Structure 1
Amino acid sequence: MKTLSAKDANYGFGMIDTACAEPVTVEKHGRPVVVVISVEEYARLLAIKAGMAGEKS
């Protein structure tokens, strides 16, 4: 997983291109605060979550 500081993320540094290939952790003051993922990965995670919700019913 790629890690960027919040400052670097604000300046871009290819974060969008990188996040399309792998999750990107953004740190603020040396602590991870967010993870940026591709739309495809987000949709995959939502599908997994929806499947899990269906199993609990």
Structure 2
Amino acid sequence: MAAGDAKNRFGMLLDTAQREPVTIEKHGRAVAVMLSAEDYDALEAMKLEALRAKVERGLADADAGRVTDASTVFAELDAMIDRAED
């Protein structure tokens, strides 16, 4: 839906978003998506669950001694930057 249409037909936009996500475009480029509060809550719950799983994996790695010293990571990043600049 074009941004102008979204503005002019906001009631319809709200109704449609209750059934399915609506992409809003400006100058032909997607700039926003409107979705129902229920869908938003479900999306946030999935993101939180994924984050929890990553934290649990990280803690398990740390408990098992699978860790990398921060100075090693920074050295690797510096090397990558140097290669990219060449």
TM-score by length of 1: 0.88
- Answer yes or no: is 1:11 the counterpart of 2:8: yes
Name the structure 2 match of 1:24: 22
What is the match of residue 37 of structure 1? 35
* 5+ long unaligned stretches in structure 2: 56-86
Q: Structure 1 stretches of 5 or more lacking a match?
A: none
Q: Normalising by the residue count of structure 2, what TM-score does the alignment of the two structures yield? A: 0.60
* 48, 53, 56: which one aligns with 1:55: 53
Bigger Rg, which one = 2
Runs of 4+ in 1 over 4 A off after TM superposition: none
* Cα deviation 1:38-57 (Å, max 9, x = unaligned): 00000000100110111112
Kindly indicate whether structure 1 or structure 2 has the higher relative contact order, using CA contacts under 8 Å at least 6 residues apart: 1
| Cα-Cα RMSD | 1.0
Distance 2:46 2:5 in 1: 31
Identical residues among aligned pairs (%): 46
1:2-25, CA deviations, whole angstroms, 9 ceiling, x for partnerless residues? xx1000000125000000000001
